[in-house]
Structure formats: C-alpha cells, structure tokens
Amino acid sequence: MEFLVTITQNWAALRRHPDLDQLVAAERQVGRALVEDGIIVRIWRLPGQRANIGIWRAADATELLALLDQLPLRPWLEAEVMALATHELEAS
Amino acid sequence: MEFLVTITQNWAALRRHPDLDQLVAAERQVGRALVEDGIIVRIWRLPGQRANIGIWRAADATELLALLDQLPLRPWLEAEVMALATHELEAS
Amino acid sequence: MEFLVTITQNWAALRRHPDLDQLVAAERQVGRALVEDGIIVRIWRLPGQRANIGIWRAADATELLALLDQLPLRPWLEAEVMALATHELEAS
Amino acid sequence: MEFLVTITQNWAALRRHPDLDQLVAAERQVGRALVEDGIIVRIWRLPGQRANIGIWRAADATELLALLDQLPLRPWLEAEVMALATHELEAS
Amino acid sequence: MEFLVTITQNWAALRRHPDLDQLVAAERQVGRALVEDGIIVRIWRLPGQRANIGIWRAADATELLALLDQLPLRPWLEAEVMALATHELEAS
Amino acid sequence: MEFLVTITQNWAALRRHPDLDQLVAAERQVGRALVEDGIIVRIWRLPGQRANIGIWRAADATELLALLDQLPLRPWLEAEVMALATHELEAS
Amino acid sequence: MEFLVTITQNWAALRRHPDLDQLVAAERQVGRALVEDGIIVRIWRLPGQRANIGIWRAADATELLALLDQLPLRPWLEAEVMALATHELEAS
Amino acid sequence: MEFLVTITQNWAALRRHPDLDQLVAAERQVGRALVEDGIIVRIWRLPGQRANIGIWRAADATELLALLDQLPLRPWLEAEVMALATHELEAS
Amino acid sequence: MEFLVTITQNWAALRRHPDLDQLVAAERQVGRALVEDGIIVRIWRLPGQRANIGIWRAADATELLALLDQLPLRPWLEAEVMALATHELEAS
Amino acid sequence: MEFLVTITQNWAALRRHPDLDQLVAAERQVGRALVEDGIIVRIWRLPGQRANIGIWRAADATELLALLDQLPLRPWLEAEVMALATHELEAS
C-alpha cells in the first residue's frame, strides 16, 4: 500500500542543536536506505519550505508509523499522511 | 487495518430525489451487511449534522474505496478517511 | 455516553522535561487502567503525528474532563472532544 | 448535561418553500415547547446571520440529536454542537 | 446586553510563573465576584482544553473590555467575544 | 455603541430576481436614511467583492439586528458583526 | 519538471449531464494517452472523495495548464497544482 | 499605486450563459485595452483553476473598483485585492 | 485614500521587555500625533484581544507602510491592511 | 518560467541575532544581484507585515529552490511559491 507523506522540519528548534551536523548526516543515511529498500518510492523537495513530499510503501499505517519513527530527526519533524488507493489508469 | 471514516450526506441534493425512500432503505441494508461482516466495526451519528463517523476495517485504501463505492447513496456522500495505526495500549 | 477524543502531545515542550521517562511511564500506567476500566474503549495512534485518537466512555462532559485531568502528561496535551450519538445500525 | 448549540438556517433554500409560513409557525411552536420544558435553557439570535445560539439540556448526545430532529425546519438547518462541562464557579 | 465569551488560557506560559498559585487564587476570587454581581450569568468548562465559555452581561463592548481587563490572569488569557441579540422565544 | 459590519451580497441569487431594479433602488433609499440618521457612521466598498464595510451605531446587538432586518435586500445579504470598544486615543 | 496535481470532480454538476457516459469514456482515453506518453508519471485515487492525485511531467506551468485543458471533463474539474523540486535522495 | 489582483471565474454559472461566446470576446477586448493602457501591468493564468493573477495600476482602491466593474464578465468574477507598497530593491 | 488597519500586539513577547513602560508611553504619543494629524481617522479596541482596529488615511500603500513603521511598538505588532473604496452613500 | 513568491520574515527570532546588521546588509546585496540578473523581475512590500511578494524567474522549481537557498536570511524566512502560466493577453 502506498502513502503520500509530507514531512516538514521544525528548523527553528533544530538549527540550534549542538549535534546538528551528525543528525543531518544520520538522517541522510537512513533516507538512502529507505530509498534503496523501495520504501520511499519517490521524494521531492517543496520550494520555499523546509519540507519534502514523498510516496512511501508500507503494509499499513502501523508499519508506516514505525518507519517514520526510525528517522533520526523524528522529534523535529511533523508528518502529514494520506492513504492512497490504486487508480484504474495504473491497474492492469 | 482500520480507518476512521466520517461520512456526510449532501441532504440538500438528496432530499429532492424521486426514489429517496428506496435509496435510504437500500443504504440501510448495505450498512447492516457491512456491520455484520465486521467491516464497519463501530459507527455513531454526529449530533447536529447529517453525518456519521465509523471505524472501518479493510486490507488497504483500495479496498476501503471499493467498499465505500458500494453504498447506494454514494453519489450524495462525502467521506473523509484517516488511516489508523495500532496503539501500544491495545497491542498484546 | 461515548466521546471521540483526539489527544496531541506538545512534544517540543515535553521532551526537554527532566523527568520525562517517569512521566511517560506514569502516563502509560494510567492509560492501561483506563483501558482496563472500559473508559478508553478503543485507541489508535495517528501516523506522522504525536497524537492518538480514542473512543472514551463517560457519564457526561464533566466526567470526561475529570478523567482527562488525571493524565500525568495533561499539561502537555491538547485534547479535542466530539460527543457521539448512537447510530441506528448499532442500536437493537 | 448541557450543550451549546449553534443553529444556522439555509435560508436560500428555505425561502422558496411553498409552505414557508406554516413551517415557520410550526418551528416557533416547537421552540416554545422546548423552552417551556426547560430543554432550551437560554437562546439568542446572532446579529447579521440567520442563526441562533442556545444552551440545550439533554441526557446525552443521542437524546440531543432526537430533540433536534423534532424541529420542523430540521432539513434546512445546520447545527453545531459543543458538549459543556460544569465550571467550578457554578458548582456548589 | 449579553455576550458569549470564550476564554482560553495560555497555560504553556502561565504554568512556569513563580506566583502561579496566588494568581489562580486571585482569579477565582474575581470570578466569584463577577458571578455574584450577575455579570457572569452562566459559565462552563470546555472538556479537553484549558478554556471556559460564559455568558457575560455588560452595558456595551467598552464595559465588557474593562471587566475582562480586571481578571488577574488577563495577560495569559485570549478571549473571543460574540455580541448576542434577544431571541423571540425569550422575549415576552 | 458602535459595530463594524461587513455586508456581502449573494449576487448569484439576487441578479436573477425579476424586481431587481426596484429592490436596489429601495435598498439605496433605506441606506441613505440610515446615513442621515447617523446610524451608518461611515461606509466603504471593498474592491473586488460585492461587499461593503461600515461603522454602525446601535444601542446593542438586538437593535442592530432590527436595523439590518430593515434592509430590502436582507434575504440576499450575509452580514458579519464585530462589537467595538472605545479606544483611549479617542476618549477625552 | 514534475508537478503534484490533485484533481477533484464536481460530481454534483457532472452526474446530471446527458452525455455523461461518453464524457467519462473520453476522459479515460485521454488519461491513458497521458500515462502512455509519460506525462502522468503516477496516479492514485483518494478514498472517500471523487478525486485523484498524480505526478505530472511538463516543461513548465504553461504546458501543464495546456495539458489539463485537454481533459474532456475539464469544465467539471478543480485542480490544485504544486511545483516539485528534485530531492537530493533521488539526485545522482 | 499597484495592486495584486486575483480573479476567479464562477465557471459553473457562466458556462450555461446563452451569450457566452460574445461575453468572452468582449472580456478579451476590454482586457487588451487595459493591458495597452498600462493598467494591467502583468498578468498570468494559474494552472488548474479558472483564475488569473495580475498587477494592476490605479490611483487608489476606488479607481481600481471602477476598473474591475468595467469587465463584461464582472457578475461572474470574484476578485481578491492586495495593496502593494514599493520595495527598496526597486526604489532608486 | 483610506485603509482599514487591524493591529494585534504580540503581548507575550512585549510584556517581558525591560523598557516596556517607556515603549508604551512612546507608542501613545505617536498614536496621539497620528490622530491629531488626521491620519488615524477613527480607532477602536477589540474586546477580548490585545488589538485595535482603525481607519487610516494615506496617499497609498507605500505611505501607509512608512506610517506604520513609525510606531515604537512596531517590532511587536502584526498589522492587517484592507484597502477601502468610496461608497456611493458617502459620495456627493 | 515565472513564480509568484511571498516571503515572510520570522522577525521575532531574527531581531535578537547578534549579527543582525551584517545579515540584513548581506541580504540586501544578494537581493540587488538577483534584481540585476533579472531573476527577481518585480518585488513589493506588503504593508503591515514583514513580508514581500515578488515575481521570480527560474528554469524550474529546483532552480528556484536553489536561488532561495542563497538568501543569507534563509533560515528565518518562510516562502510560499505559486507556479505561473502565461496569459493570452501577454502572449504574442
């Protein structure tokens, strides 16, 4: 099942963190693994905001929640989740 | 997987329908079947609005969409869907 | 009478609390008691947010308010309450 | 238990009704009975809108919903309901 | 003239105040006086929020503003005010 | 007491009225009387909308509501009302 | 360049159209061509609404607008468009 | 003085007008004149909506309102107006 | 040209300022000068909020912005500006 | 391709920065270069807010994002981006 996930960083709080560089590096590494594992199917940045929007693949909302909780920046992220249904133009 | 589904009737359009009584009766019958099949787990009316809120069980968003499309009043209903994840207080 | 209660944690403020672990443990214990007493009928996590949504049972809004005030994390929680009415599909 | 109920008339649809005068007269009669029975505790008009706001007394949301469904203008009314809890300044 | 006044506490800021207990006690005393003087006609708590909703009686908006400014917790309160008009069901 | 009143015309419904010209002429006449009587203290059009914003003087919300109900176009108008309090810069 | 496009059908107006079946068939044919041409990269239905969400590829907003104007159901569709920027996790 | 003006067409009502073609042609002619006269300084379409956004030049809001009232499609247009102030990067 | 200006104080930030009394006194002095110069035509307080609403007179938005920037409390104020057009009931 | 970009400063956070003057000077210098390079086509201040609105020219959203990231005040800015399509009144 696929979800549309919009993730916004609370940058005001995050940028004062003493270990910011390490956190961001860790976040990137986890992000790469999620892309390689086919969990993050597509991802884009939203111009003008510290936010990204992505297509995530998970068995259900419980698994998606566990995946999001793995992100090192999780405490500074707000995520909005929309459950997606198959469209007939893609089904075949 | 469970979903919180809020369904609002477009009563302004619906109440002028020539076959209103039949439609409502058919809706009730389908509703009962969904409850008996354990698809609608719980359902309540919202006081003050022509709306109900329910816990629906479906494999994923695609199946949920197909279930909602079975409702005879579907063309006059607006549904809002929220994907639910298991809470640790219920797990075990 | 049942209420739909959406509880959101003010995590930005809470996570810097010196006694965070104790508070969270106490919250869990109170949550378990509320589930065992049949006050919290069902509860789910909302993916992407530090929030849960639950069906609470209370005599009226005054009793519900007292129950919410028992939560150890209450000062860091925002709760939204919706009064629910019986649906004919469940009545019988 | 008391509820704060805001009722707005869909006047655009209502004013073209052939039996408007009779409907409005019937609404007033039901309104008076609800006031006399102590169900509508207080009621006000909101200046500038075809709306009123009132304090309603009912055992629970299910009973409140049944009371609102008695209003002859019900099909043209939208009601917003807020559950009220006792305040310590009034308790004693 | 009556007003519907919804008062929300900025609890995040208030709870760290060194003289919190004294402030709350003073607030309660002023609240009691307003009830006894018939200025606060009715008042309720809103479940789930640090907020109350009340019917206030004042000559006009200027007097209401002066009454609200008397509250010891005023700097931490946000108030929303709605001017109420007499309803024909109460007039007689 | 003064109120800030924003009045928006439901032009989509109004423009198809058979007696539109007469209604608009009657509205203007009532408007002029309200200005001459000092009830409408100031009034402006909002560019881009079929709306005006004005300062109205009335004893209280009940009287304001009665004044608004005098407008011939009342059934096609939506009015938003804000109660105004004296500012110290004007008091003297 | 990619865009996130959310398309909602005004079904209330559309369903009364005498040539509805032909319109829907034509819409599907154009949709298939857009998918085959790689313009619609991905597309999903949103459960509960007569809406879909898709990733569209176009040189710029002017070309996207022209593509959307080709849809046979265009007069009954409302589209929301978000410009997407490449994310570093996909760049390489 | 410049204004940012967002104009949205009420296409649902407009498209059923018997003289639609003539109205649209007249609108275009007036639009061209406004561009040639330097009143509409820049104008764009918004992808996905029947709307445009433009920079308009007028002495003040009263003149802008008169200019908008000249548009033949005015009864089917909703316009949102934002007053713009000179930015230091442009001043010189 | 006249503008409707709603100014809200960020009191949470302002009240901790070491020079609060001086700032407020300076603000009042500038406010009085603006009233005497006929720039602030009318001004009211909004009950329940730390906000005022006023009619300001300025050549255009650029001049209005410069006037607002003169306010000593400017860094703690949020202002909302609406451009007003002459109404026919006042013209003549 | 052109974008309408609304940029709002988080002045509450920014004004306490030790190097505020240098940051603002650097921002102005980058702004001037963007204007000279024809990237910022037009720019205005919004009266009443610490915000500007501008027409930006960029190949696509990815380039626009990179341009916005060059602004020295970027960490304290929130930007809203709207993709613009050519209007027929300007085409030719």
Nearest to B89 among C4, C35, C82 (CB): C35
pLDDT at J91: 74
Rounded mean pLDDT, I60-87: 95
pLDDT at C52: 97
Q: How far is CA E33 from the centre of its chain?
A: 12
Q: How far is CA G31 from the centre of its chain?
A: 8
Question: Which residues in chain E are contacts of F64 at CB distance < 8 A?
Answer: 83, 85
How far is the C-alpha of I42 from the C-alpha of F86, rounded, in Å? 10
**ipTM of the shown complex:** 0.91
State the pLDDT confidence band at B71, using cuts at 50, 70 and 90: very high
Is pLDDT larger for residue A62 or for residue D11? A62
Element (H, E) at H41: strand H40-45
Residue C14 has pLDDT above 90, yes or no: no
Domain spans of chain I?
Answer: 2-86
Give the gap in angstroms from C-alpha A78 to the nearest C-alpha of chain G: 18
pLDDT < 50: residue spans in chain F: none
Q: Is G4 close to A44, i.e. CB distance below 8 A?
A: yes
pLDDT at A87: 96
pLDDT at D17: 87
Q: Which residue of D lies nearest to B14 if distances are taken between CA atoms?
A: D75
State the pLDDT confidence band at C12, using cuts at 50, 70 and 90: confident
Note the pLDDT tens digit of each residue in A3-32: 999 999 988 788 888 899 999 999 999 999
**B contact set with G (CB within 8 A):** 3, 5, 10, 13, 61-62, 64-65, 68, 75, 78-81
pLDDT at A53: 97
* Residues B17, B19, B22: CA angle, nearest 5 degrees: 130
State the pLDDT confidence band at J12, using cuts at 50, 70 and 90: confident
pLDDT at C15: 82
Percent of chain E with pLDDT over 90: 83
Can you count the helices (H) and strands (E) in chain F?
3, 5
In this structure, is the dihedral angle defined by the CA atoms of residues G37, G40, G45 and G49, taken in order, positive or negative? negative
**E interface test, pick of I43, I45, I52, I53 with most E CB neighbours within 10 Å:** I45
Residue B44 has pLDDT above 90, yes or no: yes
8-state DSSP, H8: E
How far is the C-alpha of C91 from the C-alpha of C87, rounded, in Å? 6
Rounded mean pLDDT, I67-76: 94
Residue C55 has pLDDT above 70, yes or no: yes
Question: Which residues in chain G are contacts of J83 at CB distance < 8 A?
Answer: 3, 60-61, 64, 81, 83
Is the CB of residue G35 less than 8 Å from the CB of residue G43? yes
* Residues D36, D41, D45: CA angle, nearest 5 degrees: 100
pLDDT at F10: 87
Question: Which residues in chain I are contacts of F9 at CB distance < 8 A?
Answer: none
Residue A92 has pLDDT above 80, yes or no: no
Note the pLDDT tens digit of each residue in G36-69: 999 999 999 999 889 999 999 999 999 999 999 9
Lowest mean pLDDT: which of A61-70, D6-15, D23-32?
A: D6-15
pLDDT at B62: 97
State the pLDDT confidence band at D33, using cuts at 50, 70 and 90: very high
Residue carrying the six token digits 């939208």: D78
Cα radius of gyration (chain I): 14
Is the CB of residue G64 less than 8 Å from the CB of residue G34? no
Residue I68 has pLDDT above 80, yes or no: yes
Q: How far is CA A64 from CA A78, B68, C61, E33, G46, in A?
A: 14, 23, 34, 54, 18
Neighbours of chain G (3+ CB pairs under 8 A): A, B, H, J
Three-state SS for D92? coil
Residue whose C-alpha is closest to residue G57's, from A44, J50, F30, E50:
A44
8-state DSSP, H20: H
Residue D53 has pLDDT above 70, yes or no: yes
Q: How far is CA A47 from the centre of its chain?
A: 16
pLDDT at A10: 87
Percent of chain D with pLDDT over 90: 83
Rounded mean pLDDT, D5-13: 90
Rounded mean pLDDT, C3-30: 92
**I interface test, pick of E1, E53, E65, E73 with most I CB neighbours within 10 Å:** E65
Question: Which residues in chain F are contacts of E1 at CB distance < 8 A?
Answer: 60-62
Q: Do chains C and G touch (3 or more CB pairs under 8 A)?
A: no
Residue carrying the six token digits 């938005």: I61
> DSSP string covering C24-85, please?
HHHHHHHHHHHHHTTSEEEEEEPTTSSEEEEEEE-SSHHHHHHHHHT-TTGGGEEEEEEE-E
State the pLDDT confidence band at B92, using cuts at 50, 70 and 90: low
Is the CB of residue E67 less than 8 Å from the CB of residue E56? yes
For residue D65, what are the contacts with CB-CB under 8 A and spacing of at least 6?
B45, B47, B48, C85
Three-state SS for A32? helix
Q: Other CB atoms closer than 10 Å to residue B18's CB: what's the count?
A: 7
Note the pLDDT tens digit of each residue in H27-81: 999 999 999 999 999 999 999 889 999 999 999 999 999 999 999 999 899 999 9
**B interface test, pick of C42, C44, C52, C71 with most B CB neighbours within 10 Å:** C44
Question: Which residues in chain I are contacts of J49 at CB distance < 8 A?
Answer: 78-79
How far is the C-alpha of G32 from the C-alpha of G24, rounded, in Å? 12
Q: Is I35 close to F89, i.e. CB distance below 8 A?
A: yes
Question: Which residues in chain F are contacts of D45 at CB distance < 8 A?
Answer: 62, 65
Residue I22 has pLDDT above 80, yes or no: yes
Q: Is A48 close to J81, i.e. CB distance below 8 A?
A: yes
Note the pLDDT tens digit of each residue in J43-73: 999 998 899 999 999 999 999 999 999 999 9
Mean pLDDT for chain I? 94
Rounded mean pLDDT, D34-61: 96
For domain H2-86, say whether CATH 3.30.70.1060 is its number.
yes
How far is the C-alpha of J56 from the C-alpha of J82, rounded, in Å? 10
Give the gap in angstroms from C-alpha D90 to the nearest C-alpha of chain E: 7
How far is the C-alpha of B56 from the C-alpha of B42, rounded, in Å? 8
Task: Say how many CB pairs under 8 Å bridge C and E.
Answer: 25
Is the CB of residue E53 less than 8 Å from the CB of residue E6? yes
Burial readout C25-54 (b: 16 or more C-beta within 10 A, e: otherwise):
eebeebbeebbeeebbebbbbbbbbbbbbb
Q: Other CB atoms closer than 10 Å to residue I63's CB: what's the count?
A: 18
Is the CB of residue E61 less than 8 Å from the CB of residue I29? no
Q: Is C84 close to B55, i.e. CB distance below 8 A?
A: no
Q: Please provide residue A54's backbone torsions phi and psi, each rounded to the nearest 5 degrees.
A: -145, 160
How far is the C-alpha of J87 from the C-alpha of E3, rounded, in Å? 50
Element (H, E) at F6: strand F2-9
**C contact set with E (CB within 8 A):** 3, 5, 10, 13, 61-62, 64-65, 68, 75, 78-81
Q: What pairing do the DSSP bridges indicate for beta strands H40-45 and H51-57?
A: antiparallel
pLDDT at J49: 87
How far is the C-alpha of J79 from the C-alpha of D67, rounded, in Å? 49
Task: Say how many CB pairs under 8 Å bridge A and J.
Answer: 25
How far is the C-alpha of B47 from the C-alpha of D68, rounded, in Å? 8
Nearest to B1 among A61, A81, A84 (CB): A61
Q: Is D62 close to C86, i.e. CB distance below 8 A?
A: yes
Q: How far is CA C82 from CA A80, B48, C37, C79, E44, in A?
A: 22, 12, 21, 10, 16
**E interface test, pick of D84, D89, D90 with most E CB neighbours within 10 Å:** D89
Question: Which residues in chain J are contacts of I5 at CB distance < 8 A?
Answer: 48
How far is the C-alpha of E62 from the C-alpha of F86, rounded, in Å? 6
Q: Do chains A and B touch (3 or more CB pairs under 8 A)?
A: yes
Lowest mean pLDDT: which of B25-29, B72-76, H32-36, I61-65?
A: B72-76
